[in-house]
Structure 1
């Protein structure tokens, strides 16, 4: 088997593990969020949303981009140098994130009243500020686990330990009537638990042997990593600064409604997260071997199926957006329907275009990623300031989608200019030819006729998804890479697909 075929198998195998973990995580986190949203007032849920956003940006700033450095360099450094490198980076990130978290927690009242103009979010800011060091350690551990290509450990930490701890604590907070403080604690404490578990598992993957600190290699990793602080913060800005600006311009209730809509789109992100988890380090390995064509072939297959899955997800989250929110979160959040539709379209496009960022990361273009994220962040801030006062939370959604398109569109152009190749070939994007009219038919004919109940929504989502996938396969067939994966699955798992050989051969000849 060629290195390319093995790499593709590794990505798909890893993606299947990650997808299982992400589905489990999202389901548990989704249930916890629904409980919190229903239990709290819309305003209190807005405070929770603002607090979690603050924790995210604090972990990015405190981590100094070192998680991305581990992802890229652990596959490249000698075995006896890995443990020492990880230890040094852990100490650096713990020191920086502790200083930042303490500053925020101790000044929570000032931040809530003077910056956001809403004293009601003081509790959330204090609790989540104190959790920043633990969230930073978690990010670093996950970056190292990703660099070690141990997808099972990723699933254990991110998709099992963290969400299970969260939902358990949320249920306790609701049962004992602990209010906003209890729910905020239930969201923050799991970072402590999963941070320690993640760090222990990362060290478990490392060789026991260690060599003396290599100052040159450590400095190289830090130089590579630091731009990711800028790109990470910029990424947070174009993803989530609207949370803070909505709180500033509007109310904590509006923040809660927007937070529900934004969180619902997290289902869209599971596809690209699953594939990109291992595709970046594996593409880095191929690129080091000079196999640029292999890198691109790897992403052709990824793009095709990211597009197919994104179209399927647009049915419940785009076409039936308002029904989805009312059924799941109650009617008090119904105003988030149009916001969810807009964000869902943006996340669908982001799913497909985000592969270009993974390619640039794999070939060491961290500075380019920083520039792209900064441009998108500045654009997002300007659009939010212009649109939120005029259009409310709908304007914030539009600003976010435009920022996605700008950042990932720039990355797409830069991949082509850097490598003279692109993963967006006709073969990889042609499922969109069927996807657009397919969604139009669902919106025009099915949406008006479907009762707004949970079972109907699930049934229509499953049915339309199966119809669309079948249509793509019938119209465009299977690629040689997909046939290789099917045959590999037969061999690896002892499957017998002899009765379907005629169909596989027919689809492969299209």
Structure 2
């Protein structure tokens, strides 16, 4: 038992280091862009980065999450695991390439018709090139997560994120390449790290299984619902940026981005914990231990909710000084939206610690339906509130959606996990 707890704490530590480093380097990068290029430059970069993140959801096609589930579930069956991993890499290359091509073709429309910023066209096309490499890396990360090899996972994330901030900072500050320099600094490390990442799982790549029909079908079907659910869930947190870019201007996007950047620090610890709870849940469920899944879910959620509430309170007090010190007085108007976002993130981030529970027990369709319903609610709120209240309306829309998503999801998970066995849970979630 002590060894198990020690392993769990070690995994959480490395997952936290990984997520904290990612947040830190992007915080540094956005601080540099915000100070050097102003709110307009930060706004353009935020819009481009939002497209990068959204495309990432589709490029990976949920293959990483599928591999986490199947690797953890069949942990003692090396042959089956190797089939899933090898076929998952094949799927990721196909989906990543397809998504990159779609984004490349849509770049003129997105830049000129949606965001009314022609300079973004070249940035979006550049971003589209790295999608196959993103998909490969996501498959590798999902595999490492399933094996709970958190040191390797952290190493991969740290190398990429540190490379991104260093190259971007040099191109922006030393070569005066403005926002395009930051985009190049984002794309180049992503491509290199994605290309090299399979080295970390080379012992599990079986060339004979690169096109294994059943494994390809399983990872693709599972990934289909994951990508739909994750993409809609992502939109629920990024919809505000997109609508601000449509209704207002890049400067407002830049100011709002500061509020979002600070609020998102709430997700660091819960995200790190989820790297551990996801494979643990899949393993418990694979053994038919639904009661164990229930204990893990509610115990983790309760502790995470307490931590999130404390973190939100501290941020609410400290943020005015942080905004002025780090981003200058120009961004002071981001404080009111930040306070609103903190309410939503305090509740939503706590669920992040167990956010992969539905996927880990195979209920990806349920997760997708919840995200879809909340996305419609979010869209309606943004359309109604942003034209009237500006970035405050965007914050209200996002926070309200986060709270609704939390209530609905926890209620449904509680209902499913109250079933006595794995078979009852499966039968209750059957159907399209």
Q: Deviations over 1:480-509 (max 9, x none)?
A: xxxxxxxxxxxxxxxxxxxxxxxxxxxxxx
Alpha-carbon spacing, 1:316–1:280, altered in 2? closer, same or farther (3 Å): same
Contact kept? 1:286, 1:295, Cα under 8 Å: yes
> What pairs up with 1:475-494 in 2 under 5 angstroms?
none
Alpha-carbon spacing, 1:265–1:199, altered in 2? closer, same or farther (3 Å): farther
Determine the C-alpha separation between the residues in 2 that align with 1:230 and 1:212.
24
CA-CA distance at 1:382 after TM superposition: 1.0
Q: Deviations over 1:204-242 (max 9, x none)?
A: 5x3779768653343223222211121022112101122
Determine the C-alpha separation between the residues in 2 that align with 1:6 and 1:411.
33
Partner of 2:88: 89
CA-CA distance at 1:8 after TM superposition: 5.0
Partner of 1:29: 26
CA-CA distance at 1:51 after TM superposition: 0.7
Query: Which structure 1 residue ranges, 5 or more long, are not aligned?
Result: 422-510
Contact kept? 1:81, 1:211, Cα under 8 Å: no
Q: Which has the higher contact order (CA 8 A, sep 6+)?
A: 2
Determine the C-alpha separation between the residues in 2 that align with 1:167 and 1:387.
35
Alpha-carbon spacing, 1:207–1:180, altered in 2? closer, same or farther (3 Å): closer
Partner of 2:101: 102
Determine the C-alpha separation between the residues in 1 that align with 2:193 and 2:212.
29
Q: Deviations over 1:353-375 (max 9, x none)?
A: 33453322222111100001111
Determine the C-alpha separation between the residues in 2 that align with 1:101 and 1:128.
8
Determine the C-alpha separation between the residues in 2 that align with 1:38 and 1:85.
46
Match of 1:65 among 56, 62, 69: 62
What secondary structure does 1:246 align onto?
A: helix
> What pairs up with 1:164-313 in 2 under 5 angstroms?
164-173=162-171, 174-204=173-203, 206=204, 214-313=212-311
Which range is displaced more, 318-327 or 163-172? 318-327
> What pairs up with 1:134-149 in 2 under 5 angstroms?
134-149=133-148
CA-CA distance at 1:245 after TM superposition: 1.0
Contact kept? 2:385, 2:393, Cα under 8 Å: yes
CA-CA distance at 1:66 after TM superposition: 1.4
Alpha-carbon spacing, 1:221–1:6, altered in 2? closer, same or farther (3 Å): farther
Determine the C-alpha separation between the residues in 2 that align with 1:11 and 1:346.
28
Contact kept? 2:56, 2:134, Cα under 8 Å: yes
Determine the C-alpha separation between the residues in 1 that align with 2:243 and 2:404.
20
- TM-score (norm: length of structure 2): 0.89
1:17 maps onto 2:14 in alignment:
yes
Determine the C-alpha separation between the residues in 1 that align with 2:342 and 2:297.
23
Partner of 2:423: none
The structure number with the bigger radius of gyration is: 1
Which range is displaced more, 212-221 or 408-417? 212-221
> What pairs up with 1:259-408 in 2 under 5 angstroms?
259-355=257-353, 357-408=355-406
Contact kept? 1:104, 1:125, Cα under 8 Å: yes
Q: Deviations over 1:295-334 (max 9, x none)?
A: 2333344234323322332244223333321211111111
Determine the C-alpha separation between the residues in 1 that align with 2:299 and 2:73.
25
Determine the C-alpha separation between the residues in 2 that align with 1:268 and 1:68.
22
Query: Which structure 2 residue ranges, 5 or more long, are not aligned?
Result: 420-432
Contact kept? 2:226, 2:368, Cα under 8 Å: yes
Contact kept? 1:356, 1:411, Cα under 8 Å: no
CA-CA distance at 1:250 after TM superposition: 0.1
Contact kept? 1:322, 1:338, Cα under 8 Å: no
Alpha-carbon spacing, 1:12–1:302, altered in 2? closer, same or farther (3 Å): farther
Which range is displaced more, 169-178 or 346-355? 346-355
Determine the C-alpha separation between the residues in 1 that align with 2:414 and 2:4.
22
Determine the C-alpha separation between the residues in 1 that align with 2:413 and 2:399.
21
Contact kept? 1:113, 1:119, Cα under 8 Å: yes
Which range is displaced more, 214-223 or 167-176? 214-223
Determine the C-alpha separation between the residues in 2 that align with 1:115 and 1:213.
39
Determine the C-alpha separation between the residues in 1 that align with 2:108 and 2:219.
37
Which range is displaced more, 20-29 or 5-14? 5-14
Determine the C-alpha separation between the residues in 1 that align with 2:209 and 2:137.
25
Aligned residues: 416
Contact kept? 2:370, 2:405, Cα under 8 Å: yes
Alpha-carbon spacing, 1:322–1:249, altered in 2? closer, same or farther (3 Å): same
Determine the C-alpha separation between the residues in 1 that align with 2:33 and 2:296.
40
Partner of 2:115: 116
Determine the C-alpha separation between the residues in 1 that align with 2:184 and 2:91.
26
CA-CA distance at 1:122 after TM superposition: 2.5
CA-CA distance at 1:176 after TM superposition: 1.8
- TM-score (norm: length of structure 1): 0.76
Determine the C-alpha separation between the residues in 2 that align with 1:293 and 1:344.
33
Contact kept? 2:160, 2:190, Cα under 8 Å: yes
Determine the C-alpha separation between the residues in 2 that align with 1:59 and 1:211.
25
What secondary structure does 1:75 align onto?
A: helix
CA-CA distance at 1:262 after TM superposition: 1.0
Contact kept? 1:80, 1:211, Cα under 8 Å: no
